[in-house]
Structure 1
Amino acid sequence: MKKYEELDITDSFMFAKVMSNKDLCKTMLEQILNIKIREIKYLDYEDTIQISLGSKGVRLDIYVEDDENTVFNLEMQTTKYEELPKRSRYYQDIIDLNLIEKGEAYDILNTSYVIFICTFDFFKSNKSMYEFENICINKPELKLNDGTHKIFLNTKEDRSGISKELKLLLDYFDGKEPESKLAKKIDQKVFEAKRNDQWRREYMSYQMELNQQYRNGKEEGRKEGIDDMSKLIKMLISENKYE
């Protein structure tokens, strides 16, 4: 477990705190998507979106909406989970269900982007950006136009096909010194965040919660192992009684 002082921009907790700065978040979205955004607002989902009682909640790093009601979910990924594409699908579903629960009709669901900033090349195709939309398989030029977009940024490999500003931003996320104006601003916010006592306490509480969940999971697994072993022993005893 990292100490709070050891966190950098690629740690989800730090990323979420730094990107809570509206100007930085808006500028980064503009650079990633090569668009202009007039304004963004942070959607109130109380840190975790819970679709229904008993369902699995999901904690989103950054969940914002622009002045045209386009929804953006920004996530930092440093671990190469094999199910990452399905995770993007799950996040997309969570966003849609959350919008519907707030009263939106199916036919006016917002355009949405799920964006993963990965410190690895998940698709191993030497691209800095992979963007996915739903298209017709037997007619690729025909798009479904359902308003969903999934983007995987890669801090490694080739930098061709992206802007200089985005290149420098990815370099910074890859551990290099900040060179662009945006990267320097983000790095300054990281520096300031490490001196924020309230965020330090939040991080400690967050880690305590994760540790408790880990311990509970281990204990549950241990109990299940004991139960399974007990059943196996009883079965063997029962079989031996009739031999």
Structure 2
Amino acid sequence: MTVKREADKKKNSVYHGPRFDVYVEDNCGTIYDLEMQNQNHHDIEKRMAIYQGNLEKQALYAGQLFSERSQTVVLFLCDHDVYNLNRAYYKLIPQLEGHPEILIDNGETNVIVNLKGDASKQATLC
């Protein structure tokens, strides 16, 4: 397992690039980014997309098949409730429009952890 604190993946001085608070690659090949958010800027989904996009650069090596890409997980740990539902976490899941029963497995997982939420109201993340 590889863990890097504040790993800077910015490769260009023109574009905004994230500095991963905690970057982890586990023994199964899953890549994680854990981010702390102590202010609500009302843009968390866009922030997650940028971090997820940067993880994607490490998820597939040249010559690998797309089916071999690593799973990527972005976890935002927030001291505020982004959606004001008092949940302990929110897992953002891509769905087929008009058919919420059809989930899209693109190899990405995005989770917002509400550090002030009520964990007794939810099942575990697994």
Scaled to the shorter chain, the TM-score interval is 0.7 to 0.9
SS in 1 for 2:25: strand
More strand by share: 2
Distance 2:117 2:14 in 1: 42
Task: Give 1:99 shift.
Answer: 3.9
Change (3 A) 1:53 1:105: farther
Separation (CA, whole Å) in 1 of partners of 2:117 and 2:7: 33
Matched, 1:96 2:56: yes
**Residue 100 (structure 2) aligns with:** 140
| Number of matched pairs | 122
- Are 2:24 and 1:64 aligned? yes
Match of 1:42 in 2: 3
Could you tell me whether the CA contact under 8 Å between 1:128 and 1:155 is conserved in 2?
Answer: yes
Structure 1 Cα separation of the partners of residues 87 and 33 of structure 2: 21
Q: Which residue of 1 aligns with 2:43?
A: 83
How far did residue 70 of structure 1 move?
A: 0.6
State the alpha-carbon separation in 2 of the partners of residues 95 and 158 from structure 1: 30
* CA spacing shift, 1:142–1:155, aligned 2, 3 Å: same
Q: How far did 1:56 drift?
A: 2.7
Matched, 1:124 2:90: no
Higher helix share: 1
Counterpart CA distance in 2 for 1:69 and 1:99 is: 9
- Structure 2: gaps spanning 5 or more residues: none
**TM (normalized to structure 2)?**
0.82
Is the aligned partner of 1:151 residue 2:111? Answer: yes
1:148 Cα deviation from its structure 2 partner: 0.6
Q: Which residue in the other structure is 1:182 paired with?
A: none
Mapped to 2, the partners of 1:133 and 1:109 lie a distance apart of 19
**Distance in 1 separating the partners of 2:104 and 2:20:** 26
Cα distance between partner residues in 1 of 2:32 and 2:44: 17
Q: Percent identity?
A: 25
Q: Which has the larger radius of gyration?
A: 1
